[in-house]
C-alpha cells in the first residue's frame, strides 16, 4: 500500500501539519522515534501571528481555555521593554504555554481527526523516484507519495536528500537555566530586583557587563531563572546544573546574590545547560517528493521565542497545498509556493534572533549600539515595525493579482454579521478557503474548494475577499477573481 503523506516527527510542527492535512481530506501517517512524548522543557510560550492562527482553527480556545486572543500590551526585544499598548492595532500576540502542553493538545486533536501516529518508529533512510518515496524505518519499509521531514534540527530527512544547512554555530557563550523559589525580599515594592546595573524586571532579558539574566514567574513564588555568559569555559550539557552553580552565575552576571532555594516539587528536567546556539536554514524546503518543515528547515537562537510562530505557520502554509497536490486539484506550481513564501520568513527570524543575541552580548561597542537602539525604540513607528517583525507579519506574500493593501496579508479578524458567525476567525475553523462577500455582488457563487459567505461589517476592508485556507488574502475586491481562483484553486467557479 502506498500512503499519501508520511510525516517524520511528532513534534508540534509535524502534529499540526497532520491536523491540517486531515482537515483538507488527506490521511497522513506520522512516524515518531520516541515511544512516549518527551518531557524535556522547550518552549514556554507562543509569540506572534501563530496565536491568531490557533484562534482561526478553534485551537486557541481548547488550549488556553480563554475566548478570543488580544494583542499583547508589551513584549521585549533584546532586553529592551517593547511598549505596545499605545500602538493600538498590532500583530504581536502572546500565549504562555509549555511546549509539553501544546504537544499534548495537538496530539489529542490529531487523534480526534483520525491521524495515525506510530510511536517508536524511527526513519533511518529514504529513497525517491518520480512517483513515490520509499521510507526505511527501524520497523520495516513504507511507500508514500510525499514525505515531510518534521524531524527537528538534526533532521535525518534533510541529510538523506542532501539539502544543505548553511549558517553559523556560535559557541562563544553558555546558558544555564533552573527553577527556584525566590524569597520576596529579593524584590522592591515595584516587583523589581535592584542590581548595580539597574533594575531587573520579570519576563525581560537584563544585560549587564558580564552577561544576561532573565526571570520568569510561571507559578506563584516559583521562578525560572536563565543566564547567558560569554567567555566561560564550556561544560558538557550532560553534567547536571546545581543550585550552587546557578547562585554563582547569578552573582557574576547581576553583581549581587539572590535568596534562592529549591522548590519542594523540584523538576530536574527544567535544569539545563547549553553551549552557544546555531543559526542555520535549509538551502531549499523541497527536493522532489520530500519537503522540510519546522526546525528541520531552520534553527536559530531561542531569544524572544519565535520558533513555533515560524514552524506552525510553515505547517498551515504547507498543509492545504500538499493536500491539493495529493487530491489532484493543485494548480501547477502551487506546492512550490510553500518554499517561495516561507523561506523568506525563516530568513527574517534568523536576522532578528541573531541581532538580539548581538545586542545582548557584552562589550562597550555593543553598549553604544544599544544606547542608539533604545532611543529609536521610543518612536512608535519603530516599535510597530519590530512588533510586526517578531510576529512574522512584516513579509507580504507576493501574490499576482490586482494590487490591494490586503493582498498577500493575513486576513484581519473583522467582526461580522453573517449566518451564525460573528467574526472572521470562526469562518476559518474548517480549514477551507472562503469568498467573503460584503456587498452581495457574488451571490450564487459556488466552488468546489471555496466556501461562499455573505456577511456585513461596519467598515468592510474590501467589497469581497478571497481568503486562502491558511488565512492569507488571495484576492480582494475589484477585478481578477476568476484569475485568482485559477491561480490558487485551479477549477473555475461553477456560477
For binding to ligand FAD (CB under 6 A), which residues are involved?
Answer: 8-14, 31-34, 42-46, 99, 122-123, 150-152, 156, 294-295, 302, 305-309, 311
Distance between first and last Cα of the chain: 39
Residue closer to ligand FAD (CB basis): 226 or 449: 226
Minimum CB separation of residue 61 from ligand FAD in Å reads: 20
Minimum CB separation of residue 302 from ligand FAD in Å reads: 4
Minimum CB separation of residue 285 from ligand FAD in Å reads: 13
Asked if 279 and 299 touch (Cβ cutoff 8 Å), the reply is yes
Task: List 472's β-bridge partners, or say none.
Answer: 410
- Which residue in this structure is represented by grid cell 490558487? 488
Q: What residues contact residue 140 under an 8 Å CB cut-off, 6+ apart?
A: none
Minimum CB separation of residue 304 from ligand FAD in Å reads: 8
Residue closer to ligand FAD (CB basis): 302 or 343: 302
Spatial distance between the Cα atoms of 467 and 449, rounded to a whole number of angstroms: 11
Residue closer to ligand FAD (CB basis): 38 or 331: 38
Q: What is the DSSP string of 302-360?
A: -TT--HHHHHHHHHHHHHHHHHHHHHT-PPTTTTHHHHHHHHHHHHHHHHHHHHHHHHH
Residue 277 DSSP symbol: E
Asked if 434 and 451 touch (Cβ cutoff 8 Å), the reply is yes
Minimum CB separation of residue 226 from ligand FAD in Å reads: 9
> Cell numbers of 432, please?
477551507
Residue closer to ligand FAD (CB basis): 295 or 413: 295
Minimum CB separation of residue 132 from ligand FAD in Å reads: 18
Residue closer to ligand FAD (CB basis): 297 or 324: 297
Minimum CB separation of residue 53 from ligand FAD in Å reads: 12
Residue closer to ligand FAD (CB basis): 99 or 487: 99
Minimum CB separation of residue 50 from ligand FAD in Å reads: 8
Minimum CB separation of residue 149 from ligand FAD in Å reads: 8
Burial state string for 234-257 with b = 16 or more CB within 10 A and e = fewer than 16: eeeeeeebeeebbbebbeebbeee
Q: What is the DSSP string of 281-299?
A: E-S-SEETTEEE-GGGTEE
Residue closer to ligand FAD (CB basis): 45 or 402: 45
Q: CA 317 from chain center: how many Å?
A: 12
- How many of the other CB atoms lie within 10 Å of CB of 172? 12
Residue closer to ligand FAD (CB basis): 195 or 278: 278
Q: State the residue number with the nearest CB to ligand FAD.
A: 11
Residue closer to ligand FAD (CB basis): 150 or 425: 150
Asked if 20 and 431 touch (Cβ cutoff 8 Å), the reply is yes
Amino acid at each position: 500500500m502506498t500512503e499519501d503523506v508520511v510525516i517524520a516527527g511528532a513534534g508540534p510542527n509535524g502534529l499540526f501539519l497532520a491536523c491540517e492535512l486531515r482537515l483538507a481530506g488527506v490521511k497522513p501517517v506520522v512516524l515518531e522515534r520516541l515511544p512516549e512524548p518527551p518531557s524535556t522543557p522547550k518552549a514556554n510560550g507562543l509569540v506572534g501571528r501563530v496565536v491568531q492562527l490557533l484562534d482561526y482553527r478553534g485551537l486557541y480556545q481548547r488550549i488556553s481555555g480563554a475566548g478570543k486572543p488580544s494583542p499583547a500590551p508589551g513584549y521585549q526585544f533584546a532586553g529592551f521593554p517593547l511598549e505596545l499598548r499605545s500602538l493600538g492595532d498590532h500583530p504581536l500576540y502572546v500565549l504562555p504555554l509549555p511546549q509539553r502542553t501544546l504537544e499534548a493538545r495537538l496530539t489529542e486533536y490529531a487523534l480526534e481527526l483520525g491521524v495515525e501516529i506510530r510511536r517508536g518508529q524511527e526513519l533511518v533512510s529514504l529513497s525517491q523516484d518520480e512517483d513515490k518515496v520509499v521510507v526505511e524505518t527501524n520497523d520495516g519499509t513504507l511507500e508514500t507519495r510525499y514525505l515531510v521531514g518534521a524531524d527537528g534540527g538534526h533532521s535525518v530527512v534533510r541529510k538523506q536528500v542532501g539539502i544543505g544547512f548553511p549558517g553559523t554555530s556560535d559557541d562563544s557563550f553558555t546558558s544555564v537555566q533552573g527553577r527556584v523559589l525566590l524569597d520576596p525580599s529579593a524584590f522592591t515594592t515595584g516587583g523589581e530586583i535592584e542590581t548595580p546595573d539597574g533594575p531587573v524586571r520579570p519576563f525581560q532579558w537584563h544585560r549587564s557587563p558580564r552577561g544576561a539574566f532573565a526571570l520568569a514567574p510561571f507559578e506563584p513564588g516559583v521562578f525560572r531563572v536563565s543566564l547567558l555568559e560569554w567567555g566561560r569555559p564550556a561544560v558538557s550539557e550532560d553534567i547536571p546544573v546545581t543550585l550552587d552553580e546557578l547562585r554563582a552565575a547569578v552573582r557574576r552576571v547581576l553583581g549581587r546574590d539572590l535568596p534562592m532555594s529549591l522548590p519542594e516539587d523540584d523538576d530536574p528536567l527544567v535544569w539545563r545547560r547549553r553551549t552557544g546556539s546555531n543559526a542555520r536554514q535549509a538551502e531549499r524546503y523541497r527536493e522532489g517528493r520530500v519537503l522540510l518543515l519546522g526546525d528541520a528547515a531552520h534553527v536559530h537562537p531561542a531569544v524572544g521565542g519565535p520558533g513555533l510562530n515560524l514552524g506552525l505557520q510553515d505547517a498551515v502554509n504547507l498543509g492545504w497545498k500538499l493536500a491539493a497536490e495529493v487530491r489532484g486539484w493543485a494548480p501547477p506550481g502551487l506546492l512550490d509556493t510553500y518554499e517561495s513564501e516561507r523561506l523568506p520568513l525563516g530568513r527574517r527570524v534568523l536576522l532578528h534572533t541573531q541581532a538580539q543575541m548581538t545586542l545582548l552580548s557584552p562589550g562597550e561597542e555593543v553598549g553604544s549600539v544599544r544606547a542608539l537602539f533604545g532611543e529609536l525604540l521610543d518612536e512608535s513607528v519603530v516599535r510597530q515595525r519590530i512588533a510586526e517583525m517578531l510576529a512574522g507579519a512584516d513579509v507580504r506574500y507576493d501574490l499576482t493579482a490586482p494590487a490591494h493593501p490586503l493582498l498577500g496579508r493575513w486576513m484581519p479578524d473583522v467582526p461580522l454579521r453573517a449566518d451564525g458567525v460573528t467574526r472572521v476567525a470562526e469562518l476559518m475553523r474548517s480549514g477551507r478557503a472562503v469568498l467573503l462577500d460584503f456587498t452581495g455582488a457574488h451571490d450564487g457563487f459556488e466552488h468546489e474548494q471555496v466556501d461562499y459567505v455573505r456577511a456585513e461589517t461596519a467598515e468592510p476592508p474590501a467589497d469581497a475577499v478571497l481568503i486562502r485556507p491558511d488565512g492569507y488574502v488571495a484576492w480582494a475586491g475589484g477585478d481578477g477573481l476568476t484569475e485568482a481562483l485559477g491561480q490558487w484553486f485551479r477549477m473555475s467557479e461553477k456560477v
